[in-house]
Structure 1
Amino acid sequence: MIPRPLVAVLALALGSFVAAASFAADGPPKTDEEKTLYFLGTLAARNLAPFALSADELAVVQRGMRDALAGNAMDLDGQTYGPRIRELMQSRASAAAAVEKQASQAFLDAEARKPGVRRLESGVLVDELRAGTGDQPTVSDTVVVHYHGTLRDGSVFDSSVERGQPFRTPLAGVVKCWQDGVTTMRVGGKSRLLCPSDVAYGDAGAPPAIKGGAALVFEVELLEIVK
């Protein structure tokens, strides 16, 4: 069976092709309808991203969409090719995750050699930037923190600092990297936590921002343990 979210988005994208044909292909979308269709295109792209399509493969996908709209699509068995879509997506995603994991491991190994960085049993790297003087949390605690999350290339994927709003969370409800790393801190302290993918978002990642197999870096300031 074809994944439902993928079917829904591509079906909408197919339906929009005819309407979009009347719009100018060049230049940014101007009207609300053009912007809606443009956004639909970005949703379709996100659904196609796990396939890591080459330019030639993308052209085949576009041909299938055009042929379906024209009513002359090839008669292919959905029971056969539906499951193959999922298989293709999984194999491409696994291959991409393996490449990312290898690059991430090299990054983590280099970081681990820096002065002051210690590796926990789980593989999490902790670089204490400022020692705290308050209480030390346990995994069963709820904490208030400021954090700044980046990928190994330094690009930001999430940041309470940029939002200007501290983040409150039970440690039992976050990734293991945080559970292991934040519990080494004391209130008032600030640490840089470097997370292997297997204690973060794993091979699945958190698309589109976080690739499968990606190492993550969090600069965390522990503000409070909620009593």
Structure 2
Amino acid sequence: MKKLLITLLIPCCAMAVDAQTKKTVVKKTTITAVAPVKFASTLDSASYAFGMSMAASLKSGGLKSLNYELLMKGLKAEFAGEKTLLSQESAQKAIGNTFKTVSQAKFSSNITVGKKFLENNKKTPGVQTTASGLQYLVLTAGDGIKPKETDSVLVHYKGTLLNGKQFDSSYDRGEPITLTLDRVIPGWTEGMQLMSKGAKYKFFIPYNLAYGERGAGQDIPPYSTLIFEIELLKVNGK
């Protein structure tokens, strides 16, 4: 039996040795050298620099790539004075829509958090929601006149993000502010017309009624739902 097992193993060992002794065939890969770019003139280097500058600017706005073939066609057509595939209006709309899509993807968490907050907040006792989506809570009713959209008013206010971070407060500055209702964010324009002189409301403003897709400065990120406490001290009229 042992002799039979040894006999059976010999061919296997021979095959293993033969496999090891065979030479491995390596395919040769031909590498084509890329010729270095040479600038023959100042215009050449400037052209390359324009490309760098354009890309850096677009990248800072959130874009990661472009259709380079169409980019070059657009550049050439505009420089040559040819009829372009898009009108100036359509071109601006396309650019705006692209950056809007990029921004929504980048700040999608702000949109999600804001929607979830407002959905839960409207169930809070005393909170009322208007047709536009603006939410408010009456802290003090007031008994004076209500302002119109074109009126100037004197107010005290405090603004915070959903995480509680305060970004502005007239109370902290120690003096109220005079403003005109048709020159503020839509949430303020609508909300303050609900108030009577002497009233104090708490507003919960969705991003589309606040600073929208752009945000405001360093303190208010794009697509931020905001909370304001506003005290209407005086209605000045037009």
Q: Are 1:223 and 2:194 matched, yes or no?
A: no
Larger-Rg structure: 2
* Distance change in 2, residues 1:98/1:78 (3 Å): farther
TM-score (norm 1): 0.64
> What per-residue deviation string (whole Å, max 9, x for no partner) do you get for residues 115-149 of structure 1?
11111111111111110100011111100010000
* Other-structure match for 1:64: none
Q: Secondary structure at the match of 2:145?
A: coil
RMSD: 1.7
> What per-residue deviation string (whole Å, max 9, x for no partner) do you get for residues 12-31 of structure 1?
xxxxxxxxxxxxxxxxxxxx
1:142-157 alignment runs, 5 A limit: 142-157=152-167
* Other-structure match for 1:65: none
> What per-residue deviation string (whole Å, max 9, x for no partner) do you get for residues 25-49 of structure 1?
xxxxxxxxxxxxxxxxxxxxxxxxx
For the 8 Å contact 1:97–1:214, the answer to whether it is kept is no
For the 8 Å contact 1:171–1:178, the answer to whether it is kept is yes
Q: Are 1:89 and 2:99 matched, yes or no?
A: no
* Other-structure match for 2:109: 99
Same amino acid, percent of matched pairs: 32
* Other-structure match for 1:136: 146
Compute the displacement of 1:109 (Å).
Answer: 1.6
1:161 and 1:96 mapped to 2: Cα distance?
34
1:178 and 1:80 mapped to 2: Cα distance?
43
Equivalent residue for 1:79, pick from 42, 50, 67: 50
1:185 and 1:87 mapped to 2: Cα distance?
44
For the 8 Å contact 1:96–1:212, the answer to whether it is kept is no
2:61 and 2:123 mapped to 1: Cα distance?
34
Q: Secondary structure at the match of 1:77?
A: helix
Mind listing any 5+ residue stretches in structure 1 that lack a counterpart? 1-74
Mind listing any 5+ residue stretches in structure 2 that lack a counterpart? 1-45, 63-101
1:157 and 1:103 mapped to 2: Cα distance?
18
TM-score (norm 2): 0.61
